[in-house]
């Protein structure tokens, strides 16, 4: 149909994927969730990340506060991440297996990214947007730095490529992530042949969680205590991983 002379040209509406008002609306939530699934997948594939080692732990651990109980755990996480990264870089495909991954923030997360950086390898940081911003630490590889809006999508990607999860001493966030992972192992949604779960710091974890009481009350079975391993030194943990990881699927 020909436009009549003098009539105004029809203005095309903006494409929906360019419409920020729509994308940030309730109706656009499904697309936002989907983007937090596809976006990390594309970037991890581009960087050819084959598998990861996930470090969990307190954001309050500081490399400077030597009088803090958490101080030693910061530097032990740094040393362990260094050893894992050095080893991973000798394996094929080089630098793509057992890549250190963290929640991207300060504390134990920073320590693990720092250790990987000292070893000359790449590491991943999967940060979360919070009302009180948590800036990504500076040791994350720039092309592997992510910020999520949805906690559940962040948890998915923290776990998805992990061959081992190492939970250092931490607070509510660390406990939340630990219990979610151990529930997946207990229910068989994730196999122990696929993921190793390590609690780092015997003194801390035996005081914070009374696993034996859970057994005594009948809330879990004695066999459930085999779902995780407790380690308390970087060398011990590294030797355990170096022995067990090659045996896994």
Indicate which CATH number applies to the domain containing 117. 3.40.50.450
CA dist 226 and 236 (Å) reads 18
Count how many domains the chain has.
1
Q: Please report the pLDDT score of residue 1 as a whole number.
A: 47
In a domain, 60, yes or no: yes
In a domain, 238, yes or no: yes
Helix, strand, coil percent values for the chain (each to nearest 5): 45, 15, 40
CA dist 20 and 30 (Å) reads 14
Q: Please report the pLDDT score of residue 8 as a whole number.
A: 53
Question: CB count, 10 Å around CB of 89?
Answer: 18
In a domain, 11, yes or no: no
In a domain, 8, yes or no: no
Structure tokens at 98: 């057992």
Q: Please report the pLDDT score of residue 17 as a whole number.
A: 73
Q: Which domain holds residue 191?
A: 49-247
In a domain, 3, yes or no: no
The pLDDT profile of the chain, 249 residues, written as one tens digit per residue, is 454 555 555 455 668 777 788 777 888 899 899 999 999 999 999 999 999 999 999 999 999 989 999 999 999 999 999 999 999 999 988 889 999 999 999 999 999 999 999 999 999 999 999 888 788 999 999 999 999 999 999 999 999 999 999 999 999 999 999 999 999 999 999 999 999 999 999 999 999 999 999 999 999 999 999 999 999 999 999 999 999 999 886
Q: Please report the pLDDT score of residue 21 as a whole number.
A: 80
88's CB contacts (< 8 A; 6+ apart) are: 95, 97, 98, 99, 121
In a domain, 42, yes or no: no
CA dist 146 and 176 (Å) reads 20
In a domain, 207, yes or no: yes
Q: Please report the pLDDT score of residue 6 as a whole number.
A: 53
Q: Please report the pLDDT score of residue 28 as a whole number.
A: 80
Q: Please report the pLDDT score of residue 10 as a whole number.
A: 47
Q: Please report the pLDDT score of residue 94 as a whole number.
A: 84
In a domain, 153, yes or no: yes
Q: Please report the pLDDT score of residue 22 as a whole number.
A: 74
């Amino acid at each position: 149909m020909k436009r009549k002379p003098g009539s105004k040209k029809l203005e095309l509406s903006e494409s929906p994927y360019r419409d920020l008002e729509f994308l940030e609306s309730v109706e656009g939530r499904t697309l936002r969730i989907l983007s937090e699934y596809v976006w990390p997948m594309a970037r991890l594939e581009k960087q050819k990340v084959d598998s990861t080692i996930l470090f969990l732990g307190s954001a309050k651990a500081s490399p400077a506060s030597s009088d803090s109980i958490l101080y030693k755990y910061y530097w032990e996480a740094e040393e362990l991440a260094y050893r894992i990264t050095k080893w991973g870089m000798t394996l094929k495909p080089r630098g793509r297996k057992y890549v250190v991954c963290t929640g991207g923030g300060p504390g134990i997360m920073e320590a693990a990214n720092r250790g990987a950086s000292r070893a000359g390898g790449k590491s991943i940081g999967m940060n979360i947007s919070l009302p009180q911003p948590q800036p990504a630490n500076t040791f994350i590889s720039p092309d592997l730095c992510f910020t999520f809006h949805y906690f559940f999508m962040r948890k998915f990607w923290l776990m998805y490529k992990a061959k081992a999860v190492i939970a250092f001493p931490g607070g509510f966030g660390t406990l939340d992530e630990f219990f979610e992972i151990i529930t997946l192992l207990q229910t068989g949604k994730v196999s122990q042949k696929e993921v190793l779960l390590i609690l780092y710091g015997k003194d801390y974890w035996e005081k914070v969680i009374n696993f034996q009481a859970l057994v005594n009350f009948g809330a879990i079975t004695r066999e459930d205590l085999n779902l995780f391993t407790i380690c308390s030194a970087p060398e011990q943990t590294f030797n355990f991983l170096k022995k067990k990881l090659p045996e896994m699927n």
